[in-house]
Structure 1
Amino acid sequence: MTDSKNSRRAPGKRERLAAAAARVLHEKGVEQTTLADIARAADVPVGNVYYYFKTKNELVEAAIDAHAQGLRTLTDALDELPTPQDRLKALLNGWIEQRELTARYGCPTGSLASELDKRADGLDGAVAEVMRRLVDWAARQFGAMGREDDARELAVALVASYQGISLLTNTFREPELMAVEGRRLERWIDSLA
């Protein structure tokens, strides 16, 4: 018989480094972030970083994987809600709840995607896949609402609205913009049902 406390072990150094990389890269950007910044945020000696990640790009990949895992966890939880409208609105509410963070640093995945697009190391494709998964999930929700013919277009519109309002919320440092747009998008979702 296993002790339930022992079965929920604390994240290891690799997981802590990946989570710290996602957070620090969001706050400082890829170019301004050092391995020492990530090690400090993960509470791991900087020399230990190289045991798990040989290069900064490997840490960026781990951060992208952390974004992907976070999206999977979120959509799995949202999929438990009874209707596609409920799921889409819960997604919006999650974005709205993050509005203070967005005002300060922008969308975590969108900011990373924008920054990686300027590099020639292929990481832009990995972060694009995370965004694609979000669009695909949203398209399934719109399809379940009976909008099979334009589900993908609606999903792109939803994610584009979020990315656009994230940029404006960050640029103007006005978290309330996110809340206003979230309420507008809720009405839009209702109008499609």
Structure 2
Amino acid sequence: MNRRVQASQKRRRLTAAAARVLHEQGVERTTLADIAREADVPVGNVYYYFKTKDELVRAALSEHSAYLDELTGRLDELADPRDRLKALVQGWIDQRDLAARFGCPTGTLAVELDKRADGDLDAEAGAVIRRLLDWAGGQFRELGLPDPDGLALTLVAGYQGMSLLTNALRDPGVMSREGARLLRWLDSLEAAEASG
């Protein structure tokens, strides 16, 4: 394997590790050594690829964005936008144990970054959430429902709320119950569409 491929793989491991560790520990508690350990690379290598913790946070946000693109790409393979939205919610429910321990990866990072006095990383975290809102709005638009962007906001706000409460209460059941409520809500929108 050539050096360029090895360097690319090492950077990729560091980026994925940064996303995991920052989600689990938060920005302030995470050190570059924590990320190096998670990526199984010497700590000096972290500095080669990322000069500051903020660069690692930015890389973690890119990882969240790439994951969202991958997820929505898979969901877009489903023919019906209702099925896409329901599969999204089911995916959230399936992550309930992780949410109980650490909350939403992007949402918790956005909140933490907003409390910092410097930088623009909070806006970058918000941009990842905006992409989810835009995708969901597109699904509601495809269904022909009124106020698709408002419905997307309701859906994503529901997720962020249930994720926060699941984490705060350390109760995965909150995610299950509220996710089921979101699925029923989507069904009710289907019924409104069918009768309208």
Smaller-chain TM-score range? over 0.9
Give the alignment of 1:44-193 within 5 angstroms: 44-119=41-116, 120-147=118-145, 149-193=146-190
CA distance in 2, matches of 1:26, 1:163: 15
Give the alignment of 1:4-19 within 5 angstroms: 12-19=9-16
* CA RMSD between the two structures: 1.1
Task: Describe the SS at the equivalent of 2:27.
Answer: coil
Note the alpha carbon deviations across 1:167-188, whole angstroms, 9 max, x for none: 1100111101101111111111
CA distance in 1, matches of 2:10, 2:164: 33
Task: Describe the SS at the equivalent of 1:185.
Answer: helix
**What runs of 5+ residues in structure 1 fail to find an aligned partner?**
1-8
Displacement of 1:82 in angstroms is 1.3
**What runs of 5+ residues in structure 2 fail to find an aligned partner?**
191-196
CA distance in 1, matches of 2:166, 2:17: 24
Aligned to 1:3: none
Note the alpha carbon deviations across 1:144-175, whole angstroms, 9 max, x for none: 1111x300000000000000011110011110
Task: Describe the SS at the equivalent of 2:147.
Answer: helix
CA distance in 1, matches of 2:61, 2:35: 14
Note the alpha carbon deviations across 1:75-106, whole angstroms, 9 max, x for none: 00000001011000000111011100000011
Displacement of 1:44 in angstroms is 0.7
Q: How many residues align structurally? A: 184
CA distance in 1, matches of 2:94, 2:187: 20
CA distance in 2, matches of 1:37, 1:14: 15
Q: What amino acid is aligned across from residue 139 of structure 2 in structure 1?
A: Q
Q: What amino acid is aligned across from residue 32 of structure 2 in structure 1?
A: L
Give the alignment of 1:21-36 within 5 angstroms: 21-36=18-33
Aligned to 1:4: none
Task: Describe the SS at the equivalent of 1:12.
Answer: helix
Displacement of 1:190 in angstroms is 1.1
Task: Describe the SS at the equivalent of 1:80.
Answer: coil
Q: What amino acid is aligned across from residue 99 of structure 1 in structure 2?
A: R
CA distance in 1, matches of 2:21, 2:172: 21
